[in-house]
Amino acid sequence: MLFVKADRKMERLGFEKIEESKFGASYRKENKEYNFTQRLDIGHKADGNHLLQSYVEGTNSDGFNNCVGITYPEMKAVMKKFRELKRKYRW
């Protein structure tokens, strides 16, 4: 396939889409090896500096969410999703 949507790429990387709206998109990925759930959120900002947040879904003993790094293929899929959301919702 020449043109693959970002959601399909994210699915291939193990992410499940939770929601999508004009404010952004959210994905979830279970990491069975280390027993945690990764959450990846793409958020819209009016000034054009949109956000990407990757973190552990549950809180730690201090009451905070731990950050989770993302790989290059995941970043490429997220950038593709940014472009799709920009076209779809006129960000």
Q: pLDDT (tens digit, 9 = 90+) per residue, 60-86?
A: 888 888 999 999 999 999 999 999 999
User: Which residues of the chain are modeled with pLDDT < 50?
Assistant: none
- 4 vs 1, 11, 17, 40, 77, CA distance in Å? 7, 11, 16, 20, 10
Residue 61 confidence (pLDDT): 84
Residue 33 confidence (pLDDT): 95
Domain of residue 30: give its range: 6-48+62-89
**Residue 5 contacts residue 84 (beta carbons within 8 Å):** yes
Q: In the chain, how many domains are there?
A: 1
In a domain, 53, yes or no: no
**Residue 17 contacts residue 6 (beta carbons within 8 Å):** no
Residue 2 confidence (pLDDT): 60
Provide the 8-state DSSP code for 89: H
Residue 59 confidence (pLDDT): 85
Of 12, 10, 1, the residue nearest 84 (C-alpha)? 10
In a domain, 22, yes or no: yes
In a domain, 57, yes or no: no
**Residue 79 contacts residue 67 (beta carbons within 8 Å):** no
In a domain, 68, yes or no: yes
